[in-house]
Structure 1
Amino acid sequence: MDPRVARRAWRRLEPVHGMIYFVPEATKAYAALGLTGDMTGYFASRSAAFGTASAEVVIATFYNFNPALVRQALPYAWEVTTPAQILAARLESAGAALRRVGVDALPSLPETLGLARRAALAATEHLQGRPLFAAHATLDWPGEPLLDLFHAQTLLREFRGDGHVATLVSEGIGPVEALVMHAASGDVREIFLKASRGWPRERWAGAEESLRSRGLLGAEGLTPEGVRLRAHIEARTDLLALPAYGVLGDDGVERLAELARTFGRTVVDAGLIPV
């Protein structure tokens, strides 16, 4: 199987999950539970599958956030609400936001869900070394097509993400260095990564200097060696995601990638994710 096709299937369907970190439905629901900090709802909702996760668990598994930012949110979140309440709020918010833009009415929902669910279930045979995925794999399937699709893509996202973190660690790329390389690639604006990950200027500057000393970063961005390393990291991440998508076969993955385009575009074009 061409791992690039599996990546395309994941990327095109990813907005169905990713929008939950931006939509007002989630912000309002978390605030009703007492989670009013800028990032408290994010850290609590994404880690709630662990139970009352410590800040240290989130720092380790989320990888590239300033630990101080995480410690502002946890364990405070567990003092005002519970993981079960947060998970229920996240699921309800996801359904409300996706229905608001008509994802539930897309005619290919049953077929898309069938393929995504098969891939997500196949991934559960490969729990080792996938902590965030494993935690979410313990959650019940909601039992409604729209919410099941959200859950399936959540599983696929965390499965791939755990593999990505493993690759970064194996290549000796620390959390801030990973962010600097991401920004230098031009895929994501540097200002967004700096604001959302919360690292102080000196840590960002230190990561830049570290990458320069390794010949990975130059005055104009990534050096040829930096480009090669980043391409290797992405390709390795693609390969580590294949245990999920392999069950679909070449034709099934191609079909999921084809169907997923409509779902991703519906979410993005409706403005549920800032671009």
Structure 2
Amino acid sequence: MKAARTAWRRLEPLHGMIYFVPEGARRYAELGLRGRAGYFASRGAAFGRAPAELVIATFYNFHPGLVRRSLSGVWDAVSPEEVLAARYAAADEALRRAGVHELDGLAEVVELARRAAEAACEHPQGRPLFAAHAALPWPEERVLQLWHAQTLLREFRGDGHVACLLGEGIGGLEALVLHAASGTVPTVFLKMSRAWPEEEWDAAEQDLRERGLLDGDTLSTDGKALRQRIEDRTDTLALPAYAALGEAGCERLAELAVPFRRAVVDAGLLQPG
């Protein structure tokens, strides 16, 4: 399990960068998508002309009002196919700007990541956001094959994580509050990016204190145990993908991923534009 988690974490920046790079914002703006519309439309386009309620349900932790405002009128102005094409073009541009296409080991990384992603495709049940992306065709370009593979692995894991949160009675806002209380991500960033009103955030904090999961503004002993339980269970639910590689394959993927992760970070692809 440790090797699988390490492999996922090291390659995750190759997917995650799409939410920060200027190539994405520019491509979406060319379609008339401004502000947060590009994010919600591009990640949700795999569903087709998905209503805001489906995005609210599957993205999980964004304020519903933000999603509804961002997607209002989007599918009247642009097609999901156009948005998906823009997303893939942006990913290709950004990863090539980082020099990912020139790195040694690209063919082997793609082979391992794709094998894991295709194994995940045998287990779509209960994973709607993953399943929607899994139905998309594989790109022909090798760099985009890697991006698509990691996108599938990310959404596979993400859907499993949502299931774990639901099983523990943790809603989207509560998950954010607990994440902020862990100290791993600045609270101000989570509040700004997910757009929850201050009064709703404060109410969620108070509820979590009453449940014994917060001690002031930090995680209580029970809160830490809960987060660890959720993370461990999320790792377990992600294993059907990585089981196809075996322990040795996961370790090899994690080893090969190091320069790819470094290239993305060094090129500044994870810095908000």
Normalising TM by the smaller chain, what interval?
Answer: over 0.9
Matches of residues 16-55 of structure 1 in structure 2 within 5 Å?
16-36=14-34, 38-55=35-52
Q: Tell me, which stretches of 5 or more residues in structure 2 are unaligned?
A: none
Q: Tell me, which stretches of 5 or more residues in structure 1 are unaligned?
A: none
Matches of residues 55-94 of structure 1 in structure 2 within 5 Å?
55-94=52-91
- 1:218 maps to a residue whose letter is D
**Structure 1 residue 268 displacement after superposition:** 1.2
CA distance in 2, matches of 1:165, 1:4: 20
CA distance in 2, matches of 1:189, 1:274: 15
**Structure 2 residue matching 1:247: 3-state secondary structure:** coil
> Are residues 1:223 and 2:184 paired?
no
Pick aligned residue for 2:230 from 233, 242, 252: 233
**Structure 1 residue 75 displacement after superposition:** 3.9
Q: Flag as ranges the 4+ runs of structure 1 deviating above 6 A.
A: none
Q: TM-score, normalised by structure 2?
A: 0.98
CA distance in 2, matches of 1:171, 1:39: 30
Q: Which residue of 1 aligns with 2:11?
A: 13
**What percentage of aligned pairs have identical amino acids?**
63
**Structure 1 residue matching 2:122: 3-state secondary structure:** coil
CA distance in 2, matches of 1:28, 1:39: 13
**Structure 1 residue 220 displacement after superposition:** 5.0
CA distance in 1, matches of 2:171, 2:17: 27
Q: Deviations for 1:4-41, whole angstroms, at most 9, x for unmatched residues? A: 221111111011110001111110110000101x2100
Pick aligned residue for 1:4 from 2, 5, 11: 2
CA distance in 1, matches of 2:205, 2:266: 34
Contact 1:54 1:75 in 2 (8 A): no
CA distance in 2, matches of 1:45, 1:233: 28
Contact 2:97 2:267 in 1 (8 A): no
Q: Deviations for 1:25-75, whole angstroms, at most 9, x for unmatched residues? A: 110110000101x21000000000000000000000000000000001224
**Structure 2 residue matching 1:133: 3-state secondary structure:** helix
Q: Deviations for 1:157-191, whole angstroms, at most 9, x for unmatched residues? A: 00000000000000000111100111111111111
**Structure 1 residue matching 2:124: 3-state secondary structure:** coil
> Are residues 1:188 and 2:178 paired?
no
Q: TM-score, normalised by structure 1?
A: 0.97
What value does the CA root-mean-square deviation take over the aligned residues? 0.9
CA distance in 2, matches of 1:80, 1:264: 36
Contact 2:23 2:93 in 1 (8 A): yes
Number of residue-to-residue matches in the alignment? 272
CA distance in 2, matches of 1:53, 1:143: 26
Contact 2:24 2:91 in 1 (8 A): yes
- 2:31 maps to a residue whose letter is L
